[in-house]
Structure 1
């Protein structure tokens, strides 16, 4: 095997760079390239002055837009509440879009309040609907009386849709004609059990609804119910210029809604047979589990179709009517997530909880995190939907419940958002920011599940560091397209073909059940570790795929793929199998881990099985041979448990980057190739490597600082040197940066600055502690000062030091332990925000020979001040509905917290190289 090397370099040792060249290599920034934030409007108690004030603060901090979601309100402010969609509310929406437009920002809007969609316009007939399958037993001669009602006494609005009686031998008596009877009786001719299909209502109300948004949750599967929902907005929006960029739908949290009043008719139209004619087996009472599972598979496929055709596609059409686009979180839906993500303009995933990283010094207190690890593979369901259809954006609801309230540092957000970038997300939305009037005392209004990206947060003045980093990365990701070699088929029918339960809601929190045990997941993880890049494909995606010059084209705007891989699965569509073989005949490379065993579903089972077997036989594969291949038309089909060997045979080479401990994403724009490299390992990676994308020149674009350098190459190899917690963007191109990158070889410590600092507290509260001189660096909570223990805000550390500056060398400042972020000034010049590990910066350009003055403004977190408020029993959390909860959804109380480490802890050192 040919050896491939890569070398990754410490990015903090940076020299001044040519501004023009930097601008040439970084794309021009648009508002979408900046991070956006979900803007919670508590009670919609908003006014012009505070809306414009907050938007101005957001823009100054580096946000590109907001996503408005009205929710429940704060107590004591009821007189300020605005009714959702009222003229006053619409006026404030106009104030928001006008101000945002003036600031160069964008506005998205939740097409509802709280979640999921629903509200006052949804009457019971249009409310979330569920299947009620009741059983009644009758002895011979006993009667039932009509109208028949469900056993559940809470059901008030329902329809009897099918009724069948079954004798002891399971022979059936069709009583469907009685479904519409409003009186009368039926007498059992023998002992029977009756199965009754009712269309009932879940009774779910909108969760966290805002004033004017209260009401039943929408029936998302019903065509007329969805139309009635959108009609309310159409009436309000009529004739108005909204200037809303996108309408947004949150994650599908419609509990128990698995039916719609027209479901049986829709089922017959889509699947070609009547579900009610198989009622005994559909109910799991016929003794044929295989048939039950097949019926359930067809049922779930119809649920998926109704959700797409009756809700998501009309949702997108509605958005387009108002010169907006649609944005949807498909996860949690009872359907094929990839296809459902793709039914709107912007697929949106989300992160929930926090991940574990090996980065030294990255704080992760198990008491302050949820027992949930975000899975990057899950994010690829959304990014795949975007990539295969050539959509520009994949967005993410980011940082939900990252840590306990008030304990999230900016450094903790960095690796979490990097996982999303590596998975292909390129349009980040923070979760989130709560609108809060200026006169509301600290900590202002807050939302119970968010990292608090609010101006009241003590890290606010340093937030621009994170925002600028995200902007630079997203500028590359949005200006390029994913360069992925493979399509990996997602076998949805293995999930749907299950006799248990009804609908299959595929939730983020349940991946241990429906995703992780599958070969699809295991093979995807292994391919990624190996260094391959891929997107997921569904039956619908493959149906629209063409083959040209041996490559697979999923849409006109998608980058061609070199092969399709089908991980081991049992149930398969004979239509999809036929399509795959046709693509192979046209020149495609197809790799099966194992051949599928059976067709999916129930209708026309014998005919479809015969076609399926004929197609399998046409491959000519030997039985009991796990590794073989055959030429098939112009293409080739592999059957192998060793996908790596098949790919190597086809000369589809992986990147060797992962072997260094780095993670990567490869993107292309015209003839340029970008590598986004991230070091989440526990040590600096300093290696030489040959990238698959060979080019005349290589440049290093530092997303942490915006600086740009040319990288030397020899025989196609480049050296990179990336410390733990840092990231690089390498551009392989015909153009190159001007300034050479200087590697940190022969680091020599010049001085250690641990003693004799002057410390002054410059902003925050509840009171500013007294200024002082400290002999050595330590957390300010250890100084025996009660005011300092309870303080959240910013302190300035200042001292003077002398060096003999060597003009032939560069100088690196390392801050050591920082709790939790810092801005550095050297000789009165701003040397940048150090907001994440490794907390180090090249400071060569600011140092002078002789005496130097350094000032480091360090911000801690909100936790210590909140702790004091709870110890004083100050009523800062005072909201309707859920009020305020901790990370385990218990009543929030910080009074027994230990003070969090705060300030500059060091050691602070200066190094030359």
Structure 2
């Protein structure tokens, strides 16, 4: 099994050589064979100290047979170009277009001077920072503002727009005045500025020459130093959340029509001239005005965003990707997807698939309490936005997997940055849930966030997986990495069995009213039907996706039986024409929530064929899909139904069904499979196999399915190797016949050790029962040891130990020998081979998170956390030893 599916961030602050070498050892010993070197905190990126530190890291990587990825800038997000923009010509710097709007009645004088820029709106993030005195308005750096267009529109009594007047500009093109003699008017002044956005001295993502600066300042310099290692030790570069950068810092809900500046470039000007005509500037006010003709507004907004996102694809993503492949390395990373931002400007790139078009893997990230157990409907309002739980649970993972599946250059590879900034309270229990959440959706590469060699406690986005030896769960994290590597091995090199596609909603959101794609996605997920999101480019630029629509909807080796189109007020004409060619018997097309009103790129009326395609309301989608038959859209089903079970069928080197219970409650039922192939269960955590209890009836296989909350099941086709077969541990059920409970010899002895002092245990006490240790030791984080013994007159292989619950990582020792680590329920151990006649020593060690130790660390803008709000620690419930 190769182990370079995982390449955690290794943060650089300019540490000493000994620390860097020790951390490379630590990372390797956590079952990880690659790192992604993150330069963000380093004081001398691409300077002598940087090359010195990289020499050390690469030397250790070669010694330890590890791979290295490099984050591609000195500051977050990617695009700073290591500060090079400060000395570049002004024409290469970021530029925005903004529309100044003012209502005026008769006699009101409107005067606008671009050289005296009005206050642009602050984002929610900036407003929050302002409240704490941490926001300072950026200095004005540029003086090349120019007005593109100025006009006044009469507002009729019913509020509709009427007569339009073009307004004259001053000789320098920076000023305009207007005083209406009668009536009510709205003045629009559209102008260009470089004094907008949160990152003004960053490259312009819409300008090829500007984007090339990042390559020259970072990529080329690394090639000069380490070209001989490219493609061997050095795997490639990672772009972290590149952005268009308009609007305030991290804007939320910044769809077109809201008050924000928008990206601009000289290339964009040329594209708009081609699509909207030479007088395009007179139409730009429709990017902000919501009360004008909706169809004309849709056409202008589509033309603008289509040009913006294609320029991002060409100038930034594909230019860097091409450079990397020409130099023998890969290009990876992700943009900001959060809360539907993937289809917007500002902190993202306007279109997920185009923004990552040049990369060799699809990429997403999940940090900071985005995906949460049973968090589909959890609404959390922050200074950034209101959390859209449906997006994180039903879009995020599948968005990345969709790109990895349909883009030929990605070869089915999807990377997820994961675990970061959940706080010290995140431990392996939550991390296991998060890993399964994304892997069961098809993600097969991970960048855990992060290993920080800074002195503990580093307050930067915890948890940190080693934390200078202070993290009690470091060894448990290593077991999790081994598990994830094994699962990723199963999910690589093949493809998923996916038969339903959902149209990506970017163009729909740009141009009018729409349904977000998570709405139909949720219905599919809760029916255990796998799906991909397809951008309209699949239909309009089929060559980019190896797509063929002549005999159904076939994209890069996938064949879809159903295409769902979430409600869109407008659709593209070329997309509609492609739909008309799809044979109904090969791929059914269903509009969800309503028919479109027209095209966003044409004045033609919708064809009759579009109006005859089926349409269902969202609430009826489940019933409509159900009528297609249990196995028409998936290869597996469960009985009884349960909305929280997720199933992935992956066809790779192994034919595997991957099943996860994401619900809070245990599931008891049956798994139904559409074929009659012989199968066995595989346990990637323990790396062993179990016989599968399967019954064939009328060509359908049935198997009992029992899953605790968070538990997984892997069903493999074929016959398991004899040496890997074991009897599966099963939870003890009340009143189960044939069970003999075994008694421990006395009270449990409990002791504790901080992680940095393990295994030096102190504080020995005796306990008759188990309870939350946090109630007794509220600020303790570390390892809690429980010791007892059991006397056996005879040895049996069928002896099991079961722990009701524990927080968090559990390791059981019998007579001094470890029986392995478990990090989630059910905590079940088969002890038969480790026991002997006479007295047997039983030791249970539970590793906590660092939450309680760090509980009352100050967090800006938040009250101190209370110990009683922390998770429990230690064993909670009973420990049962029994012979079955």
| TM-score class, shorter | 0.7 to 0.9
CA distances 1:744-772 after superposition (whole Å, capped 9, x unpaired) = 47472522549523344455369977342
Q: Which residue of 1 aligns with 2:580?
A: 581
Using the alignment, how far apart are the partners of 1:577 and 1:912 within structure 2? Answer: 66
Is 1:393–2:413 an aligned residue pair? yes
Contact 1:141-1:187 at 8 Å conserved across structures: no
Change (3 A) 1:762 1:896: closer
Please provide the CA RMSD for this pair: 4.1
Whether the aligned pair in 2 keeps the contact of 1:488 and 1:535 (CA below 8 Å) is yes
Contact 1:752 1:908 in 2 (8 A): no
Equivalent residue for 1:541, pick from 527, 538, 543: 538
- Does residue 776 (structure 1) correspond to residue 768 (structure 2)? The answer is yes
Query: 1:5 corresponds to which residue?
Result: none
1:367-378 alignment to 2 at 5 Å?
Answer: 372=387, 373=389, 374-378=392-396
Name the SS of the counterpart of 1:530 in structure 2.
coil
Residues 680-759 of structure 1 aligned to structure 2 (within 5 Å): 680-695=662-677, 697-715=678-696, 716-733=701-718, 739=725, 741-742=727-728, 744=730, 746=737, 748-753=739-744, 755-759=746-750
Deviation at 1:276, TM superposition (A): 0.9
Secondary structure at 2:811 match in 1: strand
1:497 pairs with 2:511:
yes
Deviates more, 1:135-144 or 1:718-727: 135-144
Which residue number in structure 1 is paired with residue 3 of structure 2? Answer: 30
Select 1:312's aligned residue among 298, 311, 317. 317
Q: Is 1:197–2:190 an aligned residue pair?
A: yes
Instruction: Determine the structure 2 residue equivalent to 1:70.
Output: 39
Instruction: Please name the residue that 1:634 is paired with.
Output: none
- What SS does the aligned partner of 1:259 have? strand
Question: How far 1:720 sits from its partner (Å)?
Answer: 3.9
* 1:112 maps to which of 55, 73, 86: 73
Post-superposition offset of 1:95: 2.0
Note closer, same or farther for the CA distance 1:548–1:310 as it changes in structure 2 (3 Å cut): closer
Relative contact order higher in (CA < 8 Å, ≥ 6 apart):
1
The corresponding residue for 2:811 is 823
Q: Identify the residue that residue 8 of structure 1 maps to in structure 2.
A: none
Aligned partner of 1:122 in structure 2 is: 85
- Alignment-derived partner of residue 164 in structure 1: 150
Residue number among 666, 670, 690 corresponding to 2:648 in the alignment: 666
- Cα distance change, pair 615–839 in 1 and its aligned pair in 2 (3 A): same
CA 815–669 in structure 1, closer or farther in 2 if over 3 Å, else same: same
CA displacement, residues 807-847 of structure 1 (integer Å, 9 cap, x when unaligned) = 4x622211233232222111222200122222222222212
Residues 721, 188 of structure 1: alpha-carbon distance in 2 compared, 3 angstrom cutoff:
closer
How far apart, CA to CA, are the structure 1 residues paired with 2:870 and 2:594? 59
Q: Is the 8 A contact 2:236 2:329 kept in 1?
A: yes
1:434 aligns with 2:452: yes
Inter-partner Cα distance in structure 2 for 1:467 and 1:649:
35
Distance in 1, Cα, partners of 2:728 & 2:828: 15
Structure 1 residue 691: Cα displacement: 1.0
Contact 2:493 2:653 (8 Å CA) reproduced: no
Structure 2 CA distance for aligned equivalents of residues 774 and 614 of structure 1: 80
Q: How far apart, CA to CA, are the structure 2 residues paired with 1:599 and 1:783?
A: 63
Distance in 2 between residues matched to 1:184 and 1:647, nearest whole Å: 62
Secondary structure of the corresponding residue to residue 245 of structure 1: strand
Question: Counterpart in 2 of 1:219?
Answer: 204
Q: Do the aligned partners of 2:94 and 2:201 also contact (CA within 8 Å) in 1?
A: yes
Unaligned ranges ≥5, structure 2 = 120-138, 155-161, 248-260, 345-349, 731-735
Shift of 1:737: 5.3
State the Cα deviation string for residues 105-163 of structure 1 (Å, max 9, x = none): 22222211342221411235444332122358899999999996644594733331513
Which position in structure 1 is the counterpart of 2:300?
Answer: 295
Q: Closer, same or farther in 2 for the Cα pair 1:574/1:339, shift >3 Å?
A: same
SS in 1 for 2:70: strand
Specify the alignment match of 2:239 in structure 1: 249
Distance 1:246 1:161, change over 3 A: farther
Change (3 A) 1:300 1:156: same
SS in 1 for 2:559: coil
Q: Describe how 1:551-562 pairs up with structure 2 within 5 A.
A: 551-555=552-556, 558-562=557-561
Q: CA deviation at 1:907?
A: 1.7
Q: Summarize the Cα distance change of 1:795–1:594 in structure 2 as closer, same or farther, 3 Å threshold.
A: closer
- Cα distance in 1 for partners of 2:549, 2:178 equals 65
Q: Confirm or deny: 8 A CA contact 1:327 1:348 kept in the other structure.
A: yes
Residues 292-311 of structure 1: CA distance to partner in whole angstroms, max 9, x if unpaired?
Answer: 34422332222222222222
Q: Structure 1: which 5+ runs fail to align?
A: 1-27, 73-80, 207-214, 360-364, 500-513, 629-638, 871-876, 878-884
Equivalent in 625, 629, 651 of residue 644 of structure 1? 625
Paired with 2:657 and 2:442, the residues of 1 have a C-alpha distance of 12
Within the candidate set 661, 667, 674, 1:679 is matched to 661
Tell me if the contact between 2:639 and 2:669 (Cα under 8 Å) persists in the aligned partners. no
Deviation at 1:85, TM superposition (A): 0.7
Change (3 A) 1:534 1:50: same
Q: Deviations over 1:305-333 (max 9, x none)?
A: 22222222122223324322122323234
| Number of equivalent positions | 789
CA 1:433 to 1:891, structure 2 compared with 1: closer, same or farther past 3 Å?
farther
Counterpart in the other structure of 1:266? 271
Corresponding residue for residue 495 of structure 2: 481
Deviation at 1:68, TM superposition (A): 2.2
Contact 1:245 1:324 in 2 (8 A): yes
SS of 2:451 mapped into structure 1: strand
After alignment, is 841-850 or 250-259 more displaced? 250-259
Contact 1:754 / 1:906 at 8 angstroms: preserved in 2? Answer: no
Instruction: Specify whether residues 670 and 769 from structure 1 end up closer, same or farther in structure 2 by C-alpha distance, changes over 3 A only.
Output: closer
- In structure 2, the residue matched to 1:90 is 51
* 2:327 is the counterpart of 1:325: no
Q: Distance in 1 between matches of 2:176 and 2:565?
A: 53
- DSSP-derived class of the 1:584 partner: coil
Per-residue CA deviation, residues 604-627 of structure 1 (Å, 9 max, x unaligned), is: x33xx14x325537x5x7xxx968
TM-score (norm 1): 0.77
- Equivalence for 1:635: none
* 1:406-444 superposed Cα distances (whole Å, 9 cap, x missing partner): 2223112222221111222111222222122xxx4xx34
Q: CA separation in 2, counterparts of 1:742 and 1:151?
A: 69
| TM-score, with length taken from structure 2 | 0.79
Do the aligned partners of residues 430 and 184 (structure 1) sit closer, same or farther apart at CA in structure 2, a change above 3 Å counting? closer
Q: How far is the alpha carbon of 1:651 from its aligned partner?
A: 4.3
Pair 672,591 (structure 1): closer, same or farther in 2 beyond 3 Å: farther
> Does the aligned pair in 1 maintain the 2:743–2:790 contact within 8 Å?
no
User: Which deviates more, 794-803 or 581-590?
Assistant: 581-590
Q: What corresponds to 1:17 in structure 2?
A: none
Relative distance call for 1:414 and 1:755 in structure 2 (3 A) is farther
Which residue does 2:460 correspond to in 1? 447
Distance in 1 (CA, whole Å) between partners of 2:76 and 2:461 is: 14
Number of the residue aligned with 1:507 = none
Question: Is 1:459 paired with 2:473?
Answer: yes
Instruction: Give the structure 1 partner of residue 427 of structure 2.
Output: 409
Q: Which residue of 1 aligns with 2:256?
A: none
Equivalent residue for 2:878? 907
| Partner Cα distance (2:397, 2:775) in 1 | 45
Corresponding residue SS for 2:241: coil
| Matches for 1:225-240 after TM superposition, within 5 Å | 225-240=210-225
Between the aligned partners of 2:357 and 2:294, the Cα distance in structure 1 is 33
